[in-house]
Each structure stands twice: as structure tokens, then as C-alpha cells.
Amino acid sequence: MVTSRYDRQLKIEQIGEKGQAKFEKSHVLVIGVGGLGSYVSSELVKAGIGKITLVDFDKVELTNLHRQNLYTEDDVNRDLDKLVAMKQHLQDANSNVTIIVKNQKYSADLITDEYDLVIDCTDNFPVKYQINKDCFDKKMPYIFGTCAGNQGQVMFVNSESSACLECLYPHQDISTLGLSKNIGTNPMIVALSGSLEASMALKFLTSPESVKPGYLMVIDNWNFDFRKIHVKKQSNCPICGGK
């Protein structure tokens, strides 16, 4: 352990040397390294998570730069894949972390027991539903985040005990959701939501039982409104209902 690097977080009571040791032994899967994923990846790497696997298939574009962390104009000019650029920026920030990249679209075989936690940072609801199903089927704890306009939402899901994404947003209700491509995205809500996902991840990795599943965190950064909503497990949910 490079003590001087983590000096400030080692002094945090809930982390300390034991927590830091757990970070270094952890392996986290981050799906999507756009807005949310760029912040999540950066914060987990700087915190010293031992191994991180990143999944994405896009290139860095100019319209990404106002809300996505670490990417640069040079990345755009060089027409870099996001994973190529992100891996380099992350390794520059912390060379002690092992970073694995998978340049592909999401597929169910990505969810395996080699990971301690999955973090869904995608911006595509059909993909989110699939991740939700796959994590439930494989009993994988995961965190999902979403943001559009000035609002962000984050929730920890534990397949054995809590409501899932489908309980919160049934498929038939997807048309009512505000999507970022239609209503835009405030860059600050991306940073806040991504940081909340990362915070939840760090807490889970230090003390899994301390993170209560099934509570939706809702942030409105324009009106400075923060809410915590208990999402009830739905008995008719096609994914987790009655199970």
C-alpha cells in the first residue's frame, strides 16, 4: 500500500487500513464510461480499488466534453475509443490499479462471479433492463444510476432482498421517462450522480451489510433537492416478484 497516496481517506473512521485493504482486493465491473461511468471510474481508481473492468464501445466526441470526466479535446482530435482514452487517463492518475477494458456492447456473459460489484452507468434503458435481469439471475449485487436534465437517480439492488429496476420502472412505463438525448443533461448532475454511485460502491466494498438495498436516491441539482425513497418490491414484477 502506498500510504501517502491514501493518507486522507485512511483517516476516515469508516475506511481506515482495513477498508483500504478491502479496496485493494476488490474487483468492480463498470458498464459504460460516458457521463456517469467516467466519474465512477475516476473516483474508484483514485480510491485504490485493486482491479476495475470497464465496458464501452463508443468513441470520444466533442459533445461529450461538457459532462464527461477526464476526456480531452486531444482525445476527440485523435478519434480515440473511449476505453483507450479512459484507461490512459486512469493509469496516469493511479498506476497501482489494474484496469481491464472490454471494447464491446453489453452482453449477459459479462456478469460473472469474478466481480464483487457491478455498476451500471449506461444511458440506454433496454440495456439497463437486461443488466437488471442478469444481475438478479446471477445473484450479483449492483448499483444503477441514471440522469437527465437536472435530475439524477441512484439505487443499490441486492437480488435476494430488494426491489429491482423493473419494480421501479416497469417496461410499459418507459415512454414516460425523460431521456437525456431529448431534454439535455446538466453536467453537474452527472458529477453528483456518478459520485453518489462511487460512494455507494466504496461503502459496499468496506461493509456490504451497511448498504440498504431498494432505496432510490433522487437528486435535483437545480433546486437543491435531495430525497431518499423506499422502493417496494412488486409481487407482479417479471424479474424479482415472488422470489
- Please report how the helices 187-206 and 35-47 are oriented relative to each other, as an axis angle in degrees rounded to 10: 40
Amino acid found at 190: V
Is 236 inside a domain boundary? no
Is 128 inside a domain boundary? yes
Predicted pLDDT at 160: 72
Task: Please list the alpha-helical segments (H only) found in the chain.
Answer: 7-10, 16-25, 35-47, 73-77, 82-93, 125-137, 165-168, 180-183, 187-206
Long-range contacts at 134-142 (CB < 8 A, ≥ 24 apart):
134/108, 134/110, 135/111, 135/159, 136/164, 136/239, 136/240, 138/111, 138/112, 138/113, 140/111, 140/113, 140/115, 141/117, 141/204, 141/208, 141/213, 142/117, 142/118
Is 237 inside a domain boundary? no
Q: Note the pTM of the prediction, 2 decimals.
A: 0.94
Rounded Cα distance, 139 and 74, in Å: 41
- Please report how the helices 16-25 and 187-206 are oriented relative to each other, as an axis angle in degrees rounded to 10: 100
Is 61 inside a domain boundary? yes
Distances in Å between the Cα of 48 and the Cα atoms of 84, 87, 146, 190 are 20, 15, 25, 22
Rounded Cα distance, 45 and 92, in Å: 10
Distances in Å between the Cα of 235 and the Cα atoms of 211, 217, 239 are 23, 22, 10
Is 238 inside a domain boundary? no
Is 196 inside a domain boundary? yes
Q: How many domains does the chain have?
A: 1
Q: What are phi and psi of 113, to 5 degrees?
A: -80, 5
Q: What are phi and psi of 67, to 5 degrees?
A: -135, -5
Range of the domain at 173: 7-230
The neighbour count for residue 50, using CB atoms within 10 Å, is 17
Cβ 106 vs Cβ 95: under 8 Å: no
Is 240 inside a domain boundary? no
Query: What is the residue-level pLDDT of the chain in tens, covering all 243 positions?
Result: 555 899 999 999 999 999 999 999 999 999 999 999 999 999 999 999 999 999 999 999 999 999 999 999 999 999 999 999 999 999 999 999 999 999 999 999 999 999 999 999 999 899 999 999 999 999 999 999 999 999 999 999 997 778 999 999 987 656 555 555 667 899 999 999 999 999 999 999 999 999 999 999 999 999 999 999 999 999 999 999 866
Predicted pLDDT at 172: 63
Cβ 113 vs Cβ 176: under 8 Å: no
Is 62 inside a domain boundary? yes
Grid cell for residue 92 = 496516469
Return the CATH number at 120. 3.40.50.720
Predicted pLDDT at 4: 83
Predicted pLDDT at 2: 54
